[in-house]
Amino acid sequence: MLKANRKTLIIASIVTILPVLIGILCWNHLPDVMATHFGMNNEANGFSGKAFTVLGIPAILLAILWIGVFVTSHDPKRQNISPKMFSLVLWIVPVISLVAAATIYPINLGYELDITFFSELMVGLMLIIIGNYLPKTRQNYTLGIKIPWTLANEENWNRTHRFAGYLWMIGGILLIIICLTRFILPQWLVGILLIIVLVPCIYSYWLHAKKGL
């Protein structure tokens, strides 16, 4: 699996650290202390040094990418991980790296950007994409909803992921609608995320307890 995707991994790694090049090109225009975290009111509430922001954050994301790829490719049931699912593992971190750069750099260069709108829109799109893949995820120990009942029974795994896929896609669509209507509240994001995480787990337990799956 890893050998077959070696070139893709190299490209994904380059994309992940691409913000380093952007940061170096903009180095003289960036403040020594950069805003790197923002609240729901679009105001910065977390700061980091310029060197860490430009070099450190992409390096951490690159390490996360390689760890994720290594763990996935050595899963005991890696034969159940489809090429499409492995592609998701390869590209989700590079996308996050680019999105982070597309928000952090403009803000610190003095441009106005609606961080809340942008971030919730990205989260909504990611939920739709992941939700589309969840029903196609076969039983494994790395990707998916890995709780005792899904890992113990393949039918439980399949039903839970099929149900969760629909739920995650609905959650993503709701987030996008909320963004587009500008009716953005912190409770919406937290509530939707809690529902899409907890409800599939409860459903999996119900299948185990009531259906014997």
pLDDT of residue 143: 92
For residue 197, pLDDT over 70 is answered with: yes
- In SS3 terms, 139-160 reads as CCCCCCCCCHHHHHCHHHHHHH
For residue 186, pLDDT over 70 is answered with: no
pTM: 0.87
* 203 to 58, 94, 163: CA distances (angstroms): 37, 32, 8
pLDDT of residue 184: 65
In this structure, are strands 33-38 and 44-49 parallel, antiparallel, or unpaired?
antiparallel
Higher pLDDT, 186 or 45: 45
* Number of residues assigned to the chain: 213
pLDDT of residue 82: 86
pLDDT of residue 44: 84
Return all residues near 152 (Cβ < 8 A) that are at least 6 apart: 208
| pLDDT above 70 coverage of the chain, percent | 98
Helix pair angle (154-180, 186-211), 10° resolution: 160
pLDDT of residue 119: 82
pLDDT of residue 114: 81
**Dmax of the chain from CA atoms?**
63
DSSP class of residue 138 equals: P
pLDDT of residue 91: 94
Q: What is the mean pLDDT of residues 44-72?
A: 95
Rg of the Cα atoms in the chain: 19
Q: Return the half-sphere exposure (C-beta side, CA atoms, 13 A cut-off) of residue 137.
A: 32
- The band of 23, judged by pLDDT with boundaries at 50, 70 and 90, is very high
Task: Tell me the average pLDDT of the chain.
Answer: 91
> What sign has the CA pseudo-torsion 4, 6, 7, 12?
positive
- The band of 187, judged by pLDDT with boundaries at 50, 70 and 90, is confident
